[in-house]
């Protein structure tokens, strides 16, 4: 099964369906700086019988995981909320496996919206390539992959 990381799960709107999709062989780690959010995700998961969510309190700028831990990671309208998005992207690059993938979803209505052009620049600086984007500029999803050694960013 895959091991996936969600940074900033809130109350678990995305975590619960992702954990269910991963199935019993997969693991979804959820990291939040607010213990109350992690407690709510755990409560909601328990009510649904989901036992594969692993909560951790921490900061996206210094992820408490070893290098190359995750098959995938995602952030939904969260990257702009962290104090240093560039540092957070570098940390995500560190904890992803070399073949891993990172999904960033942004919505213009979010007060901390990061425009796609800015994300592309930050991603390249953190060692990612933008593999795919979907949606309009004001409501997009971007799939990032770790840049290969020697690849032109």
Structural tokens at position 76: 């939904």
pLDDT at 152 over 90: no
pLDDT at 153: 45
Q: Across the strands, what pairs with 132?
A: 143
**Alpha helices of 31-139 — where are they, by DSSP H?**
35-47, 85-95, 116-125
Instruction: Classify 61 as helix, strand or coil.
Output: coil
Distance, CA of 52 to CA of 98 (rounded, Å): 23
Instruction: Compute CA distances 83 → 3, 54, 80, whole Å.
Output: 26, 24, 8
Give the residue with greater pLDDT, 113 vs 150.
Answer: 113
Distance, CA of 18 to CA of 13 (rounded, Å): 9
Q: List domains and CATH numbers for the chain.
A: 3-146 (3.40.50.150)
pLDDT at 148: 81
Residue 2's pLDDT band, with cuts at 50, 70 and 90, is: very high
pLDDT at 10 over 90: yes
The string of DSSP codes covering 14-26 is THHHHHHHH-TT-
pLDDT, tens digit (0-9, with 9 covering 90-100), for 87-133: 999 999 999 999 999 999 999 999 999 999 999 999 999 999 999 99
Q: What is the pTM of this model?
A: 0.94
Mean pLDDT of the chain: 96
């Amino acid at each position: 099964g895959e091991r996936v990381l969600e940074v900033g799960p809130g109350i678990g709107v995305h975590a619960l369906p992702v954990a269910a999709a991963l199935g019993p062989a997969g693991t979804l780690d959820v990291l939040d700086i607010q213990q109350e959010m992690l407690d709510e995700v755990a409560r909601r998961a328990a009510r649904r019988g989901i036992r594969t969510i692993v909560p951790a309190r921490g900061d996206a700028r210094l992820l408490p995981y070893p290098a190359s831990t995750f098959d995938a990671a995602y952030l939904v309208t969260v990257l702009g909320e962290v104090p240093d998005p560039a540092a957070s992207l570098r940390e995500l690059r560190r904890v992803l496996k070399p073949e891993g993938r990172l999904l960033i979803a942004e919505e213009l209505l979010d007060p901390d919206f990061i425009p796609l052009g800015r994300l592309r620049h930050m991603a390249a600086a953190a060692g990612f390539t933008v593999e795919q984007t979907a949606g309009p500029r004001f409501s997009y999803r971007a799939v990032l992959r770790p840049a290969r050694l020697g690849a032109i960013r």
